[in-house]
């Protein structure tokens, strides 16, 4: 319980917008660039796979190889799938996800959007039919005559992505990174139990109007700084912190990337 309070209270304080602000010890700009580059790499890979599948066929002899390549080149990937026009996963890679072939995902919002709009999408964090929490980037597969053949999808773990890209970054002493959707859903936190939680729905958050107001403003602003502020951590000690954040995203989905650290 104390851990949850500590993470929620990372957002507590007075907010002042500081566009572009960064200190020499602030890893946010570097991590933001790396995350953006990784999302763009997955997007390019999906575009290439969609072109290949449009030529080879959604269930052609090369489909498994195309999907296996898409996953193998991207370490954060969980699986990649070819989805038919009715929203059924017809081919899935890697091989240990083959049992999920034939399952319909037509009711998933991002699949519905691709089927309806025939444009690339990135989903919100959700729990997949494979039983994992993930984000999905998906591209339509369109034939030479403009006919909709289906889509190609890559689901990935944003927490795994942050951990890998931040592994060599020198964080200020006592600092913690976080990644959240603008709806409050935690995609990455130093506390594993926080991943997948929504700060707007958390009981502790709802009980504290000051925290609620601060979180809402952070989620509403593309970048800024909060604090200094103080709270009692899990041990009962009084802690003073500052927190700053920036934003990135893809296909209309936006993430907040932040750093909370001890106040000077």
pLDDT digits (tens, 9 = 90+) for 162-171: 999 999 998 8
- Residues forming beta bridges with residue 206, ordered by sequence position: none
Q: Tell how far CA 230 is from the center of its chain.
A: 28
Q: What domains are defined for the chain?
A: 2-27+170-262 (3.30.450.20), 40-156 (3.30.450.20)
Tokens of 99: 């049992």
Q: What are phi and psi of 218, to 5 degrees?
A: -60, -45
Q: List Cβ neighbours of 85 (8 Å cut-off, separation of 6 or more).
A: 115, 148, 149, 150
> What does the buried/exposed string (b/e) look like for 164-189 if buried means 16 or more CB atoms within 10 Å of the residue's CB?
ebbeeeeeeeebbbbbbbbebbbbbb
Confidence of residue 101 (pLDDT cuts 50, 70, 90): very high
pTM for the complete prediction? 0.84
**What integer pLDDT is reported at residue 255 of this predicted model?**
97
Whether residue 240 is predicted with pLDDT greater than 80 in this model: the reply is no
**What integer pLDDT is reported at residue 9 of this predicted model?**
39
> Cβ distance 130 to 152 under 8 Å?
no
Each residue of 24-79: pLDDT tens digit?
Answer: 468 999 999 999 999 999 999 999 999 999 999 999 899 999 999 999 888 889 99
Confidence of residue 17 (pLDDT cuts 50, 70, 90): very low
Each residue of 219-235: pLDDT tens digit?
Answer: 999 999 877 766 554 46
Whether residue 11 is predicted with pLDDT greater than 50 in this model: the reply is no
Q: Is the dihedral of CA 124, 125, 131, 132 positive or negative?
A: positive
**What integer pLDDT is reported at residue 44 of this predicted model?**
96
**What integer pLDDT is reported at residue 225 of this predicted model?**
85
Strands (E), the chain: 15-16, 77-83, 89-93, 121-122, 126-127, 133-142, 148-156, 176-181, 186-189, 224-232, 238-250, 253-262
Lowest mean per-residue pLDDT among 111-115, 183-187, 231-235, 260-264: 231-235
**What integer pLDDT is reported at residue 239 of this predicted model?**
66
């Amino acid at each position: 319980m104390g851990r949850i309070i500590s993470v929620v209270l990372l957002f507590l304080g007075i907010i002042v917008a500081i566009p572009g602000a960064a200190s020499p010890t602030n890893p946010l700009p570097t991590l933001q660039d790396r995350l953006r580059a990784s999302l763009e790499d997955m997007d390019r890979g999906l575009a290439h796979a969609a072109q290949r599948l449009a030529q080879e066929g959604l269930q052609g002899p090369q489909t498994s190889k195309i999907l296996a390549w898409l996953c193998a080149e991207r370490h954060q990937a969980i699986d990649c799938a070819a989805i038919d026009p009715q929203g059924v996963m017809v081919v899935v890679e890697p091989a240990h996800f083959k049992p999920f072939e034939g399952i319909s995902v037509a009711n998933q919002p991002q699949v519905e959007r691709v089927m309806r709009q025939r444009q690339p999408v990135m989903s919100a964090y959700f729990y997949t039919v494979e039983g994992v929490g993930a984000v999905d980037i998906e591209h339509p597969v369109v034939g030479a005559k403009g006919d909709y053949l289906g889509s190609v999808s890559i689901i990935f773990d944003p927490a795994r992505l942050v951990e890998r890209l931040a592994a060599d970054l020198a964080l200020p002493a006592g600092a913690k990174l976080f990644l959240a959707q603008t709806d409050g859903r935690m995609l990455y936190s130093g506390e594993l139990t926080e991943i997948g939680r929504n700060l707007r729905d958390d009981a502790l958050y709802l009980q504290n109007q000051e925290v609620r107001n601060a979180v809402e403003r952070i989620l509403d602003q593309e970048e800024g700084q909060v604090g200094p502020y103080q709270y009692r951590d899990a041990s009962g000690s009084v802690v003073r912190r500052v927190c700053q954040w920036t934003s990135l995203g893809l296909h209309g989905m936006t993430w907040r990337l932040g750093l909370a650290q001890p106040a000077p």
